[in-house]
Structure 1
């Protein structure tokens, strides 16, 4: 996402912003100070975000994108729906939203999250239950994906800016993992031990099948698209009309985080799953959506010095293309010039 569209929470989840505020990183400092000169209207949100991050006291090396994403994922799950200032997908700003957001988050950080940060970042003493089973985390930053093979033989293609958490040894009754972000699963069959993927309040249960889960914290939806086999999905809090669904090949379950609604429909493989084959697909996309996807895919930041009309009319597919090749195609379609320097893309 382009920082000009950030709200306070978005700034708090930006790794470069963390490096500037918490660690005085020279490159990040230069970027954000220059960016603020170009976008003075965002100074109030930046000031509030800085206060929130400054309230977090951690004594360790710089956090990475995994730790930041995990932290804010926990915050999002712990704050009740009535306290949330912004619902993803409903980005209308209210005059009091920033100050109220800051008050809630600073208080929360000092309280529960203060403890969470200490235990997560500083290796505080764990409970006896957590010591019995070692948990393993595999995280990808923006610009990188990877393949993971679990102890039971399940293969997982983990997308960029995503984290998978799983036990070193599965229990005798179930195989449970946690996902933040997106992954494609090829689950090894084991009728005696269902495979369960937890994504916050939403869970996906299978025995042996292949499917894709898109559950980024920044998205207003969780999507589960089935390629083979059968998948059971469930809203554990059950606030919508439907609390669970069973979906079969070529079907996709869609869970709306804000309303709790759960539905299913057919899906386009190219649109939902082709990422695992290193294919970028845009369908009726505007420039904002394109920039969001490229920033995640290639691990870069964009600076827009030119206004580009928000027309949702760009459709294209790029198969194993470099960032420069993609930008060259976009520059013709949207009539702009670009430069690439130190993972910062400037569009003029």
Structure 2
């Protein structure tokens, strides 16, 4: 019996059936329900959540969710069927609805005590413009937001329930907050942050990224949800694997160091293993579809369009040095380097000639320098000119 609700949201066939139904998908799922009647209640619940979460193309507002989710629970408990569905872009699912039930693994979905968690996560993930803010933010499970004003912030969760910000400020988490409640670290473009999780694992979160994690890890796994890029130094615990889940794949480790790059705008998700061993699997109807085992110096590239997986050996520092404040690149196309700099410094770059984007370059940049100095160094190592046109806009010619 498939009692993990997240599995439904990771199944492309299920998503197509709910959001863009046709005769073929309807026939498949009708037959599936006949042969798997024990899953009917779970499937109806998943359909209801998907259909209720969609909107006419604008983000779901907190007030709307406050009204929406209790109704979903009521309908689930009454055993009603999902309402007629409207066509909507699948991208909304990828970073909203998938995450809604991310932490439902092992949790009784219809228990009211998890209602606030679902509401909070839905609202947070629905806002696609969170990376355009000036400062990083830590959002606690009760909705309180802590502004992190430094370009590079440091957050430490302690076992006694306190949170240390930038090694100086101490925040006491109210005792009434559930340990299963979700916290979220949002790192906008131009910022980066390091986070010590409740189990001692250290996560370095790159610009334009967000990480969702519980107040305390409970259950058999330690699970987080990543949008963007993160470098993880996992605290060893063979009895409780550490899982980094993204829109398309998840990475399972016991105690190891690895980098995950899963930006929504990128066509591929990359996992680079520094030390230890990890398992990577595609999110699907079967939890461990196309499971791959990685060893040190491996990079796994997952193509989000066709689900192809490429596994090979690389020089890992070219993919992980950002968390140490450097950017290494060897014979890399200029546009790929500039994409990283655009995120890191929150700048915009254009080209006078598209052929310039494909120019191969090699070098090392110190990211802790200001953007003008870094771009000046970059230009000196190539045959291109980089001209500043506005405060954060540049043109390459």
Return the TM-score normalized by structure 2. 0.55
What are the equivalent positions in structure 2 for 1:227-306 lying under 5 Å apart? 227-237=274-284, 243-304=290-351
1:254 Cα offset (Å): 2.1
Write the distance in 1 (CA, Å) between the matches of 2:339 and 2:273. 25
Q: Secondary structure of the equivalent of 2:373?
A: helix
Identify unmatched segments of 5+ residues in structure 2: 1-9, 21-49, 71-111, 117-177
Number of equivalenced pairs? 249
1:117 aligns with 2:20: no
Aligned counterparts of 2:235 and 2:356: Cα–Cα separation in 1: 47
Task: Tell me the equivalent position of 1:10.
Answer: none
Match for residue 171 of structure 1 among 207, 210, 218: 218
Higher relative contact order (CA 8 A, sep 6+): 1
Q: Any unmatched runs of 5+ in structure 1?
A: 1-73, 85-108
For residue 90 of structure 1, what is the aligned residue in structure 2?
none
Q: State the 1:218 CA deviation.
A: 1.4
How far does residue 201 in structure 1 lie from its aligned partner after superposition?
3.1
Partner of 1:221: 268
2:372 and 2:207 map into 1 onto residues whose CA distance is 19
Given that residues 149 and 155 in structure 1 are in contact (C-alpha distance below 8 angstroms), is that contact kept between their aligned partners in structure 2? Answer: yes
CA distance in 1, matches of 2:294, 2:350: 41
Residue correspondence of structure 1 range 141-180 to structure 2 within 5 A: 141-180=188-227
Residue 264 of structure 2 corresponds to residue 323 of structure 1: no
**Secondary structure of 1:153's aligned partner:** coil
For 2:223 and 2:216, how far apart are their aligned partners in 1? 10
CA distance in 2, matches of 1:312, 1:306: 11
Q: Which is higher, the Rg of structure 1 or of structure 2?
A: 2
CA contact (8 A) 1:118 1:124 kept: no
Give the corresponding residue for 2:356: 309
Q: CA deviation at 1:206?
A: 1.1
Instruction: Judge conservation of contact 1:226–1:250 (CA < 8 Å) in 2.
Output: yes
RMSD: 3.5
> Aligned in 2, Cα 1:190/1:166: closer, same or farther, shift over 3 Å?
same
Can you list the C-alpha shifts for 1:202-240, whole angstroms capped at 9, x where unaligned? 11111111111111111222221111211111113279x
SS at match of 1:329: helix
